[in-house]
Structure 1
Amino acid sequence: MLPGLVLAALLVACNGLFGTARNGVDFASNDLRTSHSPLPQASEYVYLVLSAEIAGQRGDYAGALEHYLEAAKLTPDPKVAERATQIALYAKNLGSAAEAAALWSQRDPSNTAPKRISAILNLKQGNLEQGVAQLRTLLSLPSVDVESTLIELVKMLDGELSKEDGLRVMKSLQEAFPHVAEVHFAYALLATNKGEYALALDQTQKALSMQPRWSRAQLLQAQLMSQMGDSESARDIIRKAVSRDPANDRLRLILAQFLTKTGDLRGAERELKGVLSRDPGNDDARFGLAVLLLETGKEDSARAELRKLLGTEKWRGQASFYLGLLELRQNHLPEALVFFDSVDSGPSEFDARVNAVTVLVSLGRVDEARGRLSELRQRFPNESLRLYLVEADLLVKRKEPQAAFDLLTSALAEDPGRAELLYSRALIADQLGRADLLEADLRAVIEKSPNDANALNALGFTLADRNLRLDEAKSLIARAMQLKPNDPAVMDSWGWLHYRLGKLDVALDYLERAHRLFKDPEIAAHLGEVLWESGRREEARRVWRGALSKDPEHREMQRIRSKYREAFLR
């Protein structure tokens, strides 16, 4: 509901109107008393304010705004114009907000807030010249906070104006204030957000030429150099900034990040430990150190640091997530599940919940795992595709391909034509012996994405394996080879196709290359078969034995054992 004033009393003349805050905007200190100027025609003013409040309580924001704007025109009290401005902004009525802000500024000339709002509103409405002119006036006032005003401006320009218009506004301000470091810095921030790194670096350097010890600008300069591929220079900039301000732990944390990025993990660990020695309560440094210790294999030390963070609000969730990963790594499944389940918010929540599902499967609690996946799809609808695929893979591993097929069919009813779902269902259809559905789904993927190498390869291999339409199979796999020339799965298909074509030398060449890259049982089955048919039977046995030792239940190896029984008699 629109914030409104609760009229505790209605007094004519000097007593004024009093209000309290409601949902959204805080008006506790924004009463409409008129101690500095007399009320206008009392009855008309009171009628307008009361009408505005009643309209607001009923959700009629347009009516509330109309009446407050009229009331603002009747009184010199800036509080009324301020109120009208806030309501207009709340209702996203930019035209009325600009009108109300102009009234507010007229009634309170020393206040910079309405001037800032007016400038931004003009920019939002495309009145760039007028908005820039207002910003020039605003930034020239001795009372304005230049840096915070410009940071707010950059956020608006980045989110609501086109790249060209935003940069044009900042260029105009930079030309108007060539000797103001904050203007150059704001221009650099916007250019960074827009991907104009060379421009951003130039403006950052100009800001630093005026304020050489400005750490915020130094950090931006380092960030830009890193994004432009010069991590070493970025690191050196941060080192110099730290040497000038050795007590600045924020700089040291950023230096640790750069050291990690450039591979100097020992140096990063030293910096983080240094921060913690000076400030044991610096939880940001502690979390960074814990992650670094994990990366360097110091699991016990990492665990100790993470446990210290369990009592902090900011890092509790991520600490629990990493502790869960540590327990999972050591196959302590119940302990891992407890940690993953304790992550109920924050950036690690989704991954923690998916890992919890993995743990439940390992514990044999598959039905519970499936129930959680269903709940996750409701809670994280943007991740539903990934969750459907996770559950389908789970069912396939449980040797329930029909259930996996049905699940993906349901998912496709929700998201028709989704390539990932079609591709996965096609592979499961193959296990069910539904060659018609396999081919139909793969063709649907290729129709939507003609350069989907996986789908091209899968359909080409299916045709080759069934010894059907080999010319079409060759065309499909050749396209996949162009897209993924070094993919062992595609090499395997190409080799298997040539085996079907009777070209054993070509087949062996590609199958051997594929097997060297990826010791997969299916590739081994194909390679062994071509070796056997080429008369190289001992080599075939060696390849097959290696595959069986890895996965004795693999479907292709079961086919080989059935077809070449004599190969396994000794």
Structure 2
Amino acid sequence: MALPLICALLSACASTAPRMGMPDAAPVVPPAQPLARLPAPVTPQAAVMADVMHGDFALAHNDLSVAARAYLRAAQAADNPELAERALDLAIAVRDVPLARQALARWQALGAPVAGVRQARASLALAAGNRADAMVAFTQLTGQGAAGWREALRALAGARDPVLAGTVLEHIATPQRLAGQDDALWLACSELGAHLGRRHFARTLAAASVRHDGSAAAYLWQAQLRQADGDRAGAEASLQAGLRRHPRNIPLRLVRAARLAEAGASPAALGLLDNGPQNHDTYALRAAIAARARQQPALRALYAELARLPAARRGHEAYLLGQLAELLGQPRAALRWYAAVPAGAEHGFAAAIRRAVLLDRTGQTVAARTLADTLARESFEDPRHYRQASVLQAELAQRARDWPRAIAAYNRALLFDPDAWDLVYARGVSYAEAGRTTDALRDFHRVLAAQPDNVDAMNALGFTLVDADRDLPEAGVLLARALAARPDDAAINDSWGWLQYRLGDYPAAVTALRKAWRLQASAEIGAHLAHALLASGARAQARQILDAAWRIDPHSRSVQALRGQIGS
């Protein structure tokens, strides 16, 4: 390399330089570059650009006031109406009235459109809180027709002073000034009045709209206003009047049918929906009302009606058809309908979840698990869907009594929401079934700490303590509270009876467990009742109950263990 040679040469030169008789040499200064000798001129264009950049930077940091001033400086130096309009909008937004007036003057000087100036004056009057100016400005703005009305309502809806906005609205939106306008404008003014707290104005204008045009939307809005004000009879009258005039209108029929179903008149609700034009909303409400009322003929009729639709429209109703097939006890048909729902459709993910559940119920366990695993893997970046898929994995594992797999799935579901108490509770149940009593108790305690009145958690914690024969006094307190809250709950009566069995009070145990068995004949309850009967000396009755429990679930560990004790 050349570097050592250069260093050596420099060292030699230093050593041979004369030490005496020569003055120190002046430092050598290189000549300045020609452009560096001249001051850099600040051009008007550069100043404008600097102000615009300053405004952009301030706006990016949400400093609207600084941005407005920077844009106004730029607009004053350049013939750019867009900069002036931008400054005006920001000044109004921060309610800097003097700055807004300057920006408005500059915008006008640069040829702002008349409509834009009127809109700005109206917004500026609102920002300044000037009632008189606002009245004039909004009157002029709404005199421009539909476009002016749209801008006026937008400005009033965003006003920071709802009292002033309401006053201005009542001044400009009179039946006389709205005459000849589209009915939608009448309703928009009434809705804005309700939003601004002007209930009397909103009701008055809604009634005027009904008289003026009598559209279905007007009757519906009037009914909604009356319902919100607690006038159920008035709301009903509006709906009935609207249906007399528009008997085939879908929104009116939907609202009226929902009210009828809520009042227990499901046949009348279904009759109203059945007759007239149909769309997805009418089909869905018909299904919901019929399912809630357990109207199987209505469900079958709707299912047949949807199945006869043209292919394209039938495809849009595939998810609803799947739900109906499930309700009608046709799981294989439901599987076909759910499979027809595209993955990217609104109900695509829900349809896939239902497919997995039905695959498992129809004995296709491996396919169900594979689908559930695929859904979880593909939805990891969507917390809501990932939770649903993980819970599906857990529930499928629970049905297969694969408790470690269920626990692992609940752990994954809880990744995005560790305080989802329904999932903590479900994981606790899996821990208990897996024999991990300490972990189960920890989860149940956590749920109760967050939700002290959670009866299911009381029962689960109490039963787990009893089943493990641990801290029976605490279990007694918990189960007594749960029983008082839900005295006819089968699971709670089972827990209470099992506690009495542990305490040695066999007559009380038999009484509680018989009640639980009557409420819900499950294998677990049957096994507990058989234990209590056996301890009471009623061996024949115990065997009879145990046989019935075995027929319900021959795989129950509790049933199998007791059958081994007394002989199958």
* TM-score using structure 2 length: 0.70
Q: 1:286 to 1:264 in 2, by over 3 A?
A: same
Q: Decide whether the 8 Å contact of 1:231 with 1:262 is kept in 2.
A: no
Offset at 1:84?
5.1
Distance 1:78 1:51 in 2: 15
| Alignment-derived partner of residue 75 in structure 2 | 72
| Alignment-derived partner of residue 394 in structure 2 | 392
Q: Decide whether the 8 Å contact of 2:303 with 2:325 is kept in 1.
A: no
Letter in 2 for 1:242: L
Distance 1:271 1:262 in 2: 14
Offset at 1:451?
2.8
| Alignment-derived partner of residue 345 in structure 1 | 345
How much identity, in percent, do the aligned residues show?
24
Distance 1:247 1:417 in 2: 48
Offset at 1:321?
1.0
Distance 2:330 2:517 in 1: 31
| Alignment-derived partner of residue 330 in structure 1 | 330
| Alignment-derived partner of residue 203 in structure 2 | 205
The C-alpha deviation readout for 1:421-454, integer Å capped at 9, x for no partner, is: 3322222222222222222222233333333322
* 43-52 vs 353-362, greater mean Cα deviation: 43-52
The C-alpha deviation readout for 1:388-429, integer Å capped at 9, x for no partner, is: 322111112223211222333344455445433332222222
1:169-568 mapped onto 2 (5 Å cutoff): 172-173=167-168, 185-189=191-195, 200=199, 204-213=202-211, 215=215, 216-226=217-227, 234-245=235-246, 250-265=251-266, 267-268=268-269, 271-272=272-273, 274-276=275-277, 283=279, 287=283, 291=287, 295=291, 296=295, 297-299=298-300, 301-305=302-306, 308=309, 311=312, 317=316, 319-328=317-326, 329-332=329-332, 335-340=336-341, 342-346=342-346, 348-361=347-360, 362=362, 363-364=364-365, 365-375=367-377, 377-412=379-414, 414-565=416-567, 568=568
Distance 2:101 2:373 in 1: 54
* 136-145 vs 449-458, greater mean Cα deviation: 136-145
Letter in 2 for 1:355: R
Q: 1:151 to 1:83 in 2, by over 3 A?
A: closer
Q: 1:383 to 1:104 in 2, by over 3 A?
A: farther
Letter in 1 for 2:330: Q
Letter in 1 for 2:223: A
| Alignment-derived partner of residue 103 in structure 1 | 103
Find the structure with the greater CA-based Rg: 2
Letter in 2 for 1:299: R
The C-alpha deviation readout for 1:327-385, integer Å capped at 9, x for no partner, is: 55422265134223x15232x34422321332444433144223233136425313544
Distance 1:98 1:539 in 2: 93
Q: Decide whether the 8 Å contact of 1:324 with 1:339 is kept in 2.
A: no
Q: 1:508 to 1:189 in 2, by over 3 A?
A: farther
Q: 1:264 to 1:226 in 2, by over 3 A?
A: farther
Q: Decide whether the 8 Å contact of 2:517 with 2:525 is kept in 1.
A: yes
Distance 1:266 1:540 in 2: 47
Letter in 2 for 1:187: G
Offset at 1:471?
1.2
Offset at 1:209?
4.6
1:92-131 mapped onto 2 (5 Å cutoff): 94=94, 103-104=103-104, 107=108, 108=113, 110-111=115-116, 112-115=118-121, 118=124, 122=127, 129=129
Q: Decide whether the 8 Å contact of 2:266 with 2:289 is kept in 1.
A: no
Distance 2:468 2:250 in 1: 66
SS in 2 for 1:332: helix
| Alignment-derived partner of residue 3 in structure 1 | none
Distance 1:507 1:455 in 2: 22
1:145-184 mapped onto 2 (5 Å cutoff): 145=146, 148=150, 152=154, 156=158, 168=163, 172-173=167-168
| Alignment-derived partner of residue 81 in structure 1 | 84
Q: Decide whether the 8 Å contact of 2:490 with 2:520 is kept in 1.
A: yes
Q: 1:227 to 1:488 in 2, by over 3 A?
A: farther
Stretches of structure 2 lacking an aligned partner (at least 5 in a row)? 1-42, 176-185
Q: Decide whether the 8 Å contact of 1:185 with 1:203 is kept in 2.
A: no
Q: Decide whether the 8 Å contact of 1:451 with 1:483 is kept in 2.
A: no
* 143-152 vs 296-305, greater mean Cα deviation: 143-152
Q: 1:147 to 1:265 in 2, by over 3 A?
A: farther
Q: 1:470 to 1:544 in 2, by over 3 A?
A: same
The C-alpha deviation readout for 1:23-80, integer Å capped at 9, x for no partner, is: xxxxxxxxxxxxxxxxxxxx847973798499979x9688997664434345787555
Q: 1:335 to 1:411 in 2, by over 3 A?
A: closer
Distance 1:285 1:419 in 2: 33
SS in 2 for 1:429: helix
Stretches of structure 1 lacking an aligned partner (at least 5 in a row)? 1-42, 192-198, 277-281
**How many aligned positions are there?**
489
Q: 1:103 to 1:54 in 2, by over 3 A?
A: closer
Q: Decide whether the 8 Å contact of 1:84 with 1:97 is kept in 2.
A: no
The C-alpha deviation readout for 1:143-181, integer Å capped at 9, x for no partner, is: 365874676468657xxx7xxx75x56665577679667
Distance 2:408 2:240 in 1: 58
SS in 1 for 2:380: helix
Q: 1:336 to 1:203 in 2, by over 3 A?
A: same
Q: 1:246 to 1:514 in 2, by over 3 A?
A: closer
Distance 1:305 1:517 in 2: 38
Distance 2:526 2:156 in 1: 59
The C-alpha deviation readout for 1:267-326, integer Å capped at 9, x for no partner, is: 5555556543xxxxx6457645874797553435435436647636xx965x12112334
Distance 1:517 1:98 in 2: 76
